[in-house]
Amino acid sequence: MAGILDSVNQRTQLVGQNRLELLLFRLRGRQIYGINVFKVKEVLQCPKLSSIPNSRPVVRGVAHIRGETIPVIDLSMSIGLPGIPQEELASSFIIITEYNRQIQGFLVTGVDRIINMNWEDILPPPKGAGQGVYLTAVTKIDDKLVEIIDVEKVLSEVSPLREEVAPSLVSRGAERESAHLPILVVDDSSVARRQIERCLTAIGLDVITKNDGKQAYEYLKEITADGSKARDHLSLVISDVEMPEMDGYTLVTRCKADPAISELFIMLHTSLSGVFNKAMVQKVGADDFMAKFSPDELAERIMEIIDQG
């Protein structure tokens, strides 16, 4: 166990050829869950938690770690399972992560190990799973199902982000020419897709959404099959990095190697804000990068890109 916990920080910088490392953990019960090591800052035995007056039950308190006050979210409770009993907190763990420019801890009952996988082996949730399921993907390890939780959905319910674009930017969008090509948005989180689409439509832009890099690349090949260029059909692409079957890095690499698609502007838009390796953006040839999620920053930047294009 100590080896796993000690190695997390050194391994968060992993970027490979459509590969990822998953930190496996458990909540209450035998089900195994996974979180991308890229998102993990640290794993600790659960320290003493200080309560927060008037907070939601899912927030079990705050931990004071290395000079920072970090909210600790009971991940079991946040996805609709029974919470971890108070008497089991001392034997539990917190996975400290950075999402969407914020640091938070997720309370779990146990941490297992880190495994290296190919994104092609990470699959979307079953189609019958429904809208209420807190999953972005599933995979199998040693013939056991591993569920990857939609953390952005969890956080949007625990601590909602402001999604509305500032009125001044909405006005700017309304004053611009309306004859713009659609924007392709690629993200495996239904919450993230909704947030981005709401932001872009507020400034008068049309949006096409795809759930992962594989879907997006197949769509781009389809619209250019007649010999046209992707730029004839789309203004730009906004893509997440972490996605089942094909991640954002691989999507960019394939697009930039395809003459019919290579001129299309691609922005990587990801919650990997704290540990994001900007050198990788240059390596794969992405045109821009932005950390999730500021509706005003995104709206302003997209208008600039379109106006420059």
Average pLDDT, the chain: 87
**pLDDT at position 132 over 80:** no
pLDDT tens, residue by residue, 204-262: 999 999 999 999 999 999 999 999 999 999 999 999 988 889 999 899 999 999 999 99
* pLDDT tens per residue, range 26-35: 998 889 999 9
Residue 203 has pLDDT above 60, yes or no: yes
Query: Mean pLDDT, to the nearest integer, of 21-25?
Result: 92
Q: Domain 167-308, CATH 3.40.50.1580 — does that match?
A: no
Select 2-153's CATH number: 3.30.465.10, 3.40.50.720, 3.40.50.300, 2.40.50.180: 2.40.50.180
Quick one: pLDDT at residue 36?
85
Share of the chain above pLDDT 90, in %: 58
Return the pLDDT at 176: 75
Residue 87: count other Cβ atoms within 10 Å of its Cβ: 7
Q: What is the pTM of this model?
A: 0.83
Q: What is the pLDDT of residue 13?
A: 45
Model confidence at 2: pLDDT above 70: no
What mean pLDDT is predicted for residues 52-62? 89
Mean pLDDT of the region 72-90? 93
Can you tell me the mean pLDDT for 130-140?
A: 81
* Residue 178 reports pLDDT greater than 70: no
Residue 14 has a pLDDT of 47
Partners of 95 in beta bridges: 43, 106
What whole-number percentage of the chain has pLDDT above 70? 89
User: What ranges do the domains of the chain cover?
Assistant: 2-153, 167-308
